[in-house]
Structure 1
Amino acid sequence: MEILLHEWLSVNGLMLFTIGLLAAIIGVLFGAAGFVLLPAMLLIGIPIHTTVAVNKFATGFSALSNVVSFIIKGHLSVKKFTSLIVISSFGGVFGAFLATRLSEQIMNVVACVFLIFAFFIVLCSNKFIVRDIKETEEQPINKLIPFVISIYDGGFGPGSALMHVTYHLKKQYNYIKAVEVTRMITFSSCTGAFLFYYFTGIVNWGIAIPVSIGSIVGSFLGLKIIPYIKTKWIQILLPIIFFLLIVQVVSDLLI
């Protein structure tokens, strides 16, 4: 415990806290926490599977803090989304299972395919992102889509929350509601994935704790900023973020 405490309070611990903080802010606002978290951790020499496991723990923990806040404020109903929670949890477990049996290169290929597919959906469907706070008639959710995205989230993750947000916007959810539901799904898939990684011994607590604390702080800061986000910004930024994620993954494949 003393060794862990020393590691958390070191310069490396502060750097990990900052990475978690920035990733969570970007994750809450635009669903692209992996755009910061994964490449930053890989850059400082953390192995890919350890990075993904820590990412699931940190992202899941910060999402939980948001979900609890949403439920207390009456913004989310656990009963209404029970089936979605169960499905995304199983998706996270299955994704983690697949990831532990794939090489880093194959994981990057899978990520690239998912991101390119989602990128074209955003480009073709940009007209639906036209709502701010006002209520709209929400359409039924096809549970298969969140399940498939949760598999990807459990095994790798960059852009998964962005895919969820985009899907719920297409189903006529306003932006804030789409973010709230996405945080709940993210918590479920990350929890399922993390538990699998934990029981297979791929978790480094010296890394996971400072990143998670940063993620919790960043997630609440992100929620404070959301009401000030304009829909025009979303229309411009979503395709750009997707494109940058694709460039990042492709560059990893070519290295």
Structure 2
Amino acid sequence: MAIFINEWFSADGLMLFSIGVIAAMIGVMFGAAGFVLLPAMLLVGVPIHATVAVNKFATGVSSFTNVLTLIFKIDISLKEMVPYMIMACFGGLTGAFLATRLSEQIMNIVACFILIFSFFIVLKSNKEIGMDVEGCHEQKPSFITPFFISMYDGGFGPGSALMNITYFLKKQGNYKKAVELTRFVMFSSCMSAFIFYYLFGIVDWRIAIPVTVGSIVGSHLGMKMVQYIQVKWLQITLPAIFLLLIAQVVRDLLF
């Protein structure tokens, strides 16, 4: 335990903490924590499956702290969210199970197709982004889409929060509410996937703890900043982030 503590407060530990803060802030506001977290973890030499496991733990714990805050503020009905959380749990477990049986190359190919498909959905929905609830007709989100997004999240992850935000935004018409709903779904999919990875024996706590502490700090900073995000930022930033994610996955496939 003393060795772990020394490593957490070392230069590497502080670097991992900083990565967690930045990734979580971007993840909460724009749904692309994986764009920062995964490349950064791979860059410091963490294997991809261990990187995904750490990402699930960090995102799951930070999302849980957001969920508690939202419940105590009574911003969202827990009863309303339970069915989505259950479907997300099954999706996360399914994705983690498949990921442990696929090679890194196959994972990247699947991620590339999903991200390209989602990019065109974002472009199609771009005019709706940022509309207030009063300006559009609310629709009840289905359980099927969050399940498949959670399955992707459990197995890989980059862009999964953005997919959820885009989906809930299209149905609800309010960006702040879409972010809040996404935190519930992300908590469920990430923690169920993490439990599978933990039982599979590929979690490194020396990496997971500093990244997770940073993610908790970053997620709460991001939640406070969401209300100040302007519509024009979203219409430019969301498609741009998807393009960067696609470019990253294609680069991993080709090089």
Give yes or no for TM over 0.5: yes
Q: Aligned letter for 2:50?
A: T
Point out the more displaced range, 25-34 or 78-87.
78-87
User: Residues 144-179 of structure 1, C-alpha deviation per residue, up to 9 Å, x if partnerless?
Assistant: 110000000000000000000000111133000000
**1:230-241 alignment, distance < 5 Å:** 230-241=230-241
State the match for 1:58 in structure 2.
58
Unaligned runs of 5+ in 1: none
State the match for 1:148 in structure 2.
148
**1:102-141 alignment, distance < 5 Å:** 102-132=102-132, 137-141=137-141
Kept in 2: contact 1:136–1:174 (CA 8 A): no
**1:170-189 alignment, distance < 5 Å:** 170-189=170-189
User: Residues 133-153 of structure 1, C-alpha deviation per residue, up to 9 Å, x if partnerless?
Assistant: 758542021211100000000
Q: Aligned letter for 2:241?
A: I
Q: TM-score, normalised by structure 2?
A: 0.98
State the match for 2:169 in structure 1.
169
- Give me the CA root mean square deviation: 1.1
**1:84-103 alignment, distance < 5 Å:** 84-103=84-103
Q: TM-score, normalised by structure 1?
A: 0.98
Unaligned runs of 5+ in 2: none
Q: Give identity over the alignment, percent.
A: 64
User: Residues 91-119 of structure 1, C-alpha deviation per residue, up to 9 Å, x if partnerless?
Assistant: 00010000000001111111101100000
User: Residues 187-232 of structure 1, C-alpha deviation per residue, up to 9 Å, x if partnerless?
Assistant: 0000110000011111100000000000000001111111110011
State the match for 1:252 in structure 2.
252
Deviation at 1:130, TM superposition (A): 3.5
Q: Aligned letter for 2:185?
A: I
Deviation at 1:131, TM superposition (A): 1.8
Point out the more displaced range, 136-145 or 192-201.
136-145
Kept in 2: contact 1:89–1:192 (CA 8 A): yes
Secondary structure in structure 1 of the residue aligned to 2:113: helix
Please identify runs of 4+ aligned residues in structure 1 that moved more than 2 A: 132-138
**1:26-105 alignment, distance < 5 Å:** 26-105=26-105
